[in-house]
A = this chain, B = another copy of it.
């Protein structure tokens, strides 16, 4: 493994702007409890000649996985808590693309990953950082992909994990988290009550709140999505990236990554980033459509896209702002469209994704119709999680 000096980093509060060092187990601003952001100093890297800069950013071409991007990761890259995550493939969707009138439609298969979802990108960075700053006990609230991912990486890191889940979460999901040896703590009430209980535990007993929504190092991991896309498209990325968005950790990480690549002079143009949500729970799309500054609390309904059923995303304002800055937009699809696209993706392209991921395909006709994307454009969709993550659809689909 090729070691090199770490990129200089600090933390800053997104609310009161206080600057903080990055070598303490902080998970919120000690002054105002605001969300923390990582600030990187890319100037030493940006000062290198172009070819050298590109070589340092890409890492060893013979190495596989996202840790080859260690030059831009502000964490202990000499001994990461890793299971080979990253370097997921991009495949051309010829048949589905032609049917939609999008001949240049691509999918990035994020479920090629230790726990079969993109969450592992963020988790490997966050748990590596947590171990680096001496964390022994970590608390997270999630009943889905993030919970399983964090339980897995904490097991590997030897960190005790407590995962707070809604009382109503499916037994199989809770059992999967517990299988990794994590403590599963069911909490009654709303989704917000679960978050509050998890934070309360951390305030009470000093555990680290290793939340995929709150922790800024999570986004440092998910930003590698952008570094890979840039490389896979020879530094001329697709005009459009479409991402299913709940708390937006892949969306925001990618936007961050593309921004860094532009700052480093490796991209001339940023892709337009589009938000896909289910009509049952669409606070971001609502804010984009109504041209609001931030998300509002709107009515939500149960949806098959469980992974993005987040009524009050903690970084809602940032997501709205990122989509808008990129020139992107948002669109929502009803459950019947999501399920139809999930099925089409399997029967036409051989890809079995979870309904949450299918949402990003289900909004494509609407984005086309709105003129947000054009038929001749290249469009890349993030396939965030595997179909086996949520097999309830198999129960309702009769075997032929």
Binary contact readout A337-373 vs B (1 if CB under 8 angstroms, 0 otherwise): 0000001001111111000000000000000000000
Nearest B residue (CB) for A232: B64
In the assembled complex, A399 has its CB within 8 A of some CB on chain B: yes
Name the segment of A179-187, A262-270, A276-284 touching the other chain.
Answer: A179-187
Which of A84, A177, A389 has the most B CB atoms < 10 Å from its CB?
A: A84
Structural contact, A346 and B83, CB atoms closer than 8 A: no
Structural contact, B352 and A179, CB atoms closer than 8 A: yes
Q: Which of B158, B172, B183, B386 contacts A116 (CB 8 A)?
A: B386
Shortest Cβ distance from residue A352 to the other chain B in the assembled complex, whole angstroms? 6
Known: A82-B91, A89-B83, A95-B158. A176 touches B112 (CB 8 A): no
Q: How many angstroms between the C-alpha atoms of A398 and B350 in the bound complex?
A: 34
Binary contact readout A162-179 vs B (1 if CB under 8 angstroms, 0 otherwise): 000000000110111111
Interface size on A, residues (CB 8 A): 60
In the assembled complex, A394 has its CB within 8 A of some CB on chain B: yes
Structural contact, A89 and B65, CB atoms closer than 8 A: yes
Within 8 A of B (CB), among A56-92: 61-62, 64-65, 82-84, 87-91
Cβ–Cβ < 8 Å partners of A393 in chain B: 179
Shortest Cβ distance from residue A66 to the other chain B in the assembled complex, whole angstroms? 11
Q: Which of B155, B171, B387, B397 contacts A350 (CB 8 A)?
A: B155
Structural contact, B352 and A115, CB atoms closer than 8 A: yes
Which of A154, A156, A178 has the most B CB atoms < 10 Å from its CB?
A: A156
Q: How many angstroms between the C-alpha atoms of A180 and B61 in the bound complex?
A: 35
Known: A84-B90, A89-B65, A400-B178. A114 touches B156 (CB 8 A): no
Structural contact, A178 and B348, CB atoms closer than 8 A: no
Cβ–Cβ < 8 Å partners of A350 in chain B: 83, 114, 152-157, 180
In the assembled complex, A249 has its CB within 8 A of some CB on chain B: no
Cβ–Cβ < 8 Å partners of A112 in chain B: 84, 112-114
Cβ–Cβ < 8 Å partners of A51 in chain B: none
Cβ–Cβ < 8 Å partners of A183 in chain B: 400
Cβ–Cβ < 8 Å partners of A321 in chain B: none
Q: How many angstroms between the C-alpha atoms of A266 and B346 in the bound complex?
A: 39
In the assembled complex, A275 has its CB within 8 A of some CB on chain B: no
Cβ–Cβ < 8 Å partners of A346 in chain B: 152, 155, 179-181
Binary contact readout A143-156 vs B (1 if CB under 8 angstroms, 0 otherwise): 00000000011111
Cβ–Cβ < 8 Å partners of A388 in chain B: 116, 176, 386, 388-389
Q: How many angstroms between the C-alpha atoms of A398 and B89 in the bound complex?
A: 36
Cβ–Cβ < 8 Å partners of A87 in chain B: 64, 87
Structural contact, B91 and A397, CB atoms closer than 8 A: no
Structural contact, A175 and B395, CB atoms closer than 8 A: yes
In the assembled complex, A43 has its CB within 8 A of some CB on chain B: no
Structural contact, B397 and A179, CB atoms closer than 8 A: yes
Q: How many angstroms between the C-alpha atoms of A231 and B62 in the bound complex?
A: 9
In the assembled complex, A109 has its CB within 8 A of some CB on chain B: yes
Q: Which of B84, B115, B349, B398 contacts A91 (CB 8 A)?
A: B84
Q: Which of B65, B82, B90, B175 contacts A399 (CB 8 A)?
A: B175
In the assembled complex, A391 has its CB within 8 A of some CB on chain B: yes
Structural contact, B184 and A399, CB atoms closer than 8 A: yes
Q: How many angstroms between the C-alpha atoms of A58 and B178 in the bound complex?
A: 41
Q: How many angstroms between the C-alpha atoms of A393 and B178 in the bound complex?
A: 12
Structural contact, B394 and A175, CB atoms closer than 8 A: yes
Q: How many angstroms between the C-alpha atoms of A87 and B112 in the bound complex?
A: 11
Q: How many angstroms between the C-alpha atoms of A350 and B399 in the bound complex?
A: 34
Q: How many angstroms between the C-alpha atoms of A172 and B174 in the bound complex?
A: 20
Within 8 A of B (CB), among A374-400: 386-389, 391, 393-395, 397-400
| Additional pairs, 7, CB under 8 Å, beyond known A84-B91, A175-B397, A179-B393 | A62-B231, A64-B87, A95-B158, A109-B114, A112-B114, A114-B350, A154-B350
